[in-house]
A and B are shown apart, each in its own frame.
Chain A
């Protein structure tokens, strides 16, 4: 550690606690309380990274979240690695490992630095202009462009840390714990408001907490001392919760805010085990007080980006808060009084100031006189025109400004320095305010945008509201908070302030140079390497909108979102275009204010919680019996049950054959079940289904088709009349929630007069379907008391029964075309009844089958699956299901649409069966269907919706939709594939047992 850079005077640094850390593979030391930036500066290190485009050496520029340059990779090549972290925000801990980004082989010697020499041919829009032609080459360019894009390296292994989300509700949220935030929080909490105070830093008090100057006093006390007492007082308030290391990321409408609370990032890695790393706070506040402060502006001049150039306020903070001098031979360059505060801090510690360059001709404040008294040369009305030094600034040259500030005059003077502090005044941090929908206004006197119209119950106070002097900060905060909270008692009787600064400023957005603009590199956006020259070029090329200039030059599009330079970009645009600043507005400030980790965003929704899934009551049996699963909606459904190394095709063929030859068993628990009761239940079903329901007898089942109001098929399923005013409706697995929603919608909004009640009972029952010629024998063994004779229990009917004294509902319904029974039983008995069926079916080779076999079996019968064979463009007529559309009913949902001019067209896509010329050839689902392959362009007639090899028919079968398909029976069509054309014949969609002999066979 270079001792002459560390001043052991700061109470924020624990000098008894030495911390070792690594930067670019070298070990350094700092103290507890340091940030990575302050520790590096104490070690004399300014150069920490290379710039994005030109690979120029870059150093630490700021002391907070606005940092554009000092962004580093933490813990490279480990599971905890994180790119693009601001060194100014990282609190150091034992074992911290950091490295520079965007440089190879090292930050001191970087091959990419050649881009800096090539910069004349890398102007704004370089990529857009260069890689436009030939267009077909884009794929080749892309590979290289992608490689050179981006800064840090993303982690390659899973994140070991834990993250979580938390909702917070409060009366008042105060963002920022600077002087006005502290006052606001105290006033709110003491007046009975449940208050939350957050600050992104690890300490409270903002920049005033290290303001020990004699020039700004509150009630005749040094600012920092006064503030410390205030902080001490509020930390005891019951009504007030204080969260440090908590950065508000987003301010949405209705005072909904997102904040990231850092909990372990400042701890050594070995102390982070089993702790939550970061918490995303979802805050709903009745009132929001924004006290986010302001960000110092840099100045825009040639080569203003060299390592060793910092904001003057940052230099002050490093010395006052961390006890670290940024240089041993300093120059300050300013257009306002801020730099004189920095000067006083340096003077107090005996750090050399070589000169102060001030844009202003006249300087008239107590503090500037005091600085002058210390024999520091002040160049009034001067500007810096260039800087020198590759890896660290070592010299500047200055010239006198003309009266209008547009040009430089006189001779060039060179001055030596190892650190240059710049101050261009202050920009209110209005980011969160504008995110919330707030409208800004432009204040001409000091060229700042300040809050104007508040969209919700909120207020901005302090310097984010454009109050920069201590006196106006305090008095305006007091009066606005009183009004905002409607309180008389401010807790502050009299607050007297003294400030040695005045607010005069000479604002020149782009400082003049003795060189032509084309030969300068005056950086506006440091992180994205956008210069004043680039902005001017964009304007010359015709861009006018600030949003367009931003995208063309990439100004403000880095991870720092241009917190430093955006205002200068606006200023340069309006100066060049001869327009007024206020007319341009600003670019949109978007969340997050500072980058969020993905971990924080997803919280606990990782691994098996990423997307929840639902298991049937019989799930464990399927797992134990080697089932493969498929996702259907949120459900895990057994897909097929491979035996002895069978592949899917072999398993499905075996299962399908067994189901028709003897017996199959399917877990159908996922089907949606809606319990419908009420005196108008029948009338309700009449209105929602296409067929008639009034005459369905109690104990009978009926298949129904539900349409949207546009006439397109929406869902289908069997509904059973359990009692006079009681039905149970089944829906498709994936459609259950939507169907319930749709039915509720009609009941509540269109037909509130109907006496009907709906309940979702999907999860209440396990549904076991036993099918095949031996199903009757099996079910009779499981439920011996139930009379299964065709007379007593015909197809499409239902019986209440008991299995071991447990009530169940048995329906004789079929989705396979086989004689089959569906047993519905209370969910927690599902598995044991399934096992009973398996036991009873042992002698009949009962075969569990999954969804794939179910699909095959129903396709043999030509039964549709809504969502597979339909896609919300097919009417029942298109599906050749005219039989299910009641002609007699006056109305039902979608009826009127069935004879719109569009739905009665003959050439609509219609569902047909398809048989391949070669019966072994199985079509691909989704394949296009054409009639004439010679025609150009080929007319697509439709596509294959379902396709299988049927082991029962011993041939390939398929369903598809074809334009005008209804009238094409027997016609030959072609399925063009990548390397062959498959000939098919249009067939009846019912391939097996059209007469229903299997269903009605006497068993």
Chain B
């Protein structure tokens, strides 16, 4: 079980958190301008990487804040956590 360093609360058990899928997918500002394919790209397409992956997490049983996490899915090492709106600290 992960020990997650919530950017707002510090280290907490994974059971306090909820995973929220891939990070840095920005909701289009003008959805009506998009073709079906472009909209589908936003709506359905998600990466499933073996290795470094950028993810959204929510401290749902804590401060309820959303934040981002960089995790190596091949060994479950959490490389970094950072607040929403911040740039990823690693590429």
Contacts and interface: CB of A to CB of B under 8 A. Distances in A.
Given A749-B84, A752-B84, A896-B32, A709 B43 contact: yes
Interface string B2-13: 110000000001
B32 A895 contact: yes
Interface of B: 1-3, 13, 18, 20, 26-28, 30-32, 34, 36, 39-40, 43, 56, 58, 60, 64-66, 75-76, 84-85
B40 A900 contact: yes
A253 B76 contact: yes
Nearest to A710: B43
A252 B34 contact: no
A745 B58 contact: yes
Given A741-B58, A891-B31, A752 B2 contact: no
A749 B56 CA distance: 10
5 contacts: A744-B64, A745-B58, A748-B66, A895-B32, A896-B39
A432 B28 CA distance: 47
A455 B65 CA distance: 29
Interface string A739-752: 00100110011101
B75 A256 contact: no
Interface in A252-273: 252-256
Contacts of B32: 890-891, 895-896
A891 B34 CA distance: 12
A900 B58 contact: no
A741 B39 CA distance: 23
A897 interface: yes
Contact of A749 (B31, B34, B66, B75): B66
Given A256-B1, A745-B58, A752-B85, 9 more contacts: A252-B1, A253-B1, A254-B3, A741-B18, A741-B58, A744-B64, A752-B84, A895-B31, A896-B32
Contacts of B85: 752
Interface string A278-302: 0000001000000000000000000
A455 B56 CA distance: 24
Top 3 closest pairs, chain A to chain B, by CB: A896-B31, A256-B1, A254-B3
Given A745-B58, A748-B84, A752-B85, A897 B1 contact: no
Interface in A728-761: 741, 744-745, 748-750, 752
Nearest to B34: A896
B12 to A, nearest CB: 10
A891 B32 CA distance: 8
A95 interface: no
Contacts of B84: 748-749, 752
A889 to B, nearest CB: 10
Which of B18, B39, B85 has the largest number of chain A CB atoms within 10 A? B39
Interface in A929-959: none
A437 interface: yes
B71 to A, nearest CB: 11
A901 interface: yes
Contact of B39 (A254, A748, A897): A897
Given A710-B43, A891-B31, A437 B76 contact: yes
A745 B66 contact: yes
- Residue of A254, A744, A890, A895 with most chain B CB atoms under a 10 A cut-off: A254
A750 B25 CA distance: 10
A994 B64 CA distance: 43
A455 B3 contact: no
A900 B36 contact: yes
A284 B36 contact: no
Given A253-B1, A745-B58, A455 B75 contact: yes
Q: Which of B1, B36, B58 has the most CB of A within 10 A?
A: B1
B3 A256 contact: yes
Contacts of A750: 26-27
B2 A254 contact: yes
Contacts of B2: 253-254
Contact of A897 (B18, B20, B28, B43): B43
B60 A254 contact: no
Contacts of B30: 891
Contacts of A284: 3, 13
A709 B44 CA distance: 10
A431 B66 CA distance: 37
A748 B20 contact: no
A252 B15 CA distance: 14
Contacts of B66: 744-745, 748-749
A997 B81 CA distance: 58
Nearest to A746: B27
A252 B76 CA distance: 11
Contacts of A252: 1
A437 B75 contact: yes
Contacts of A253: 1-2, 76
A890 B3 CA distance: 42
A253 B1 CA distance: 6
A822 B7 CA distance: 42
A891 B33 CA distance: 11
Nearest to A745: B66
Contacts of A255: 3
Interface in A349-371: none
Contacts of A895: 31-32
Contacts of B3: 254-256, 284
Contacts of A896: 28, 31-32, 34, 39
B33 to A, nearest CB: 9
A592 to B, nearest CB: 15
Contacts of B40: 900
A437 B76 CA distance: 10
Contacts of A254: 1-3
B45 to A, nearest CB: 13
A7 to B, nearest CB: 48
A988 to B, nearest CB: 32
A749 B85 CA distance: 8
A620 to B, nearest CB: 29
A442 to B, nearest CB: 21
A741 B60 contact: yes
A440 B34 CA distance: 52
A745 to B, nearest CB: 6
A253 B43 CA distance: 32
Given A752-B85, A891-B31, A745 B20 contact: yes
A168 to B, nearest CB: 13
Contacts of A890: 32
Contacts of A891: 30-32
A838 B43 CA distance: 50
Contacts of B65: 748
A255 B75 CA distance: 14
Interface string A842-854: 0000000000000
Contacts of B26: 750
Question: Which of A710, A748, A890, A896 has the most chain B CB within a 10 Å cutoff?
Answer: A896
Contacts of A710: 43
Contacts of B39: 896-897, 900
Nearest to B83: A748
Contacts of B20: 745
Nearest to A256: B1
Contacts of B60: 741
Interface in A896-924: 896-897, 900-901
Nearest to B11: A284
Nearest to B78: A254
Interface in A389-420: none
Nearest to A708: B43
A748 B83 CA distance: 10
A327 B75 CA distance: 50
A684 to B, nearest CB: 14
A745 B84 CA distance: 11
Nearest to A896: B31
A284 B18 CA distance: 20
B35 to A, nearest CB: 10
Nearest to B27: A750
Contacts of A900: 36, 39-40
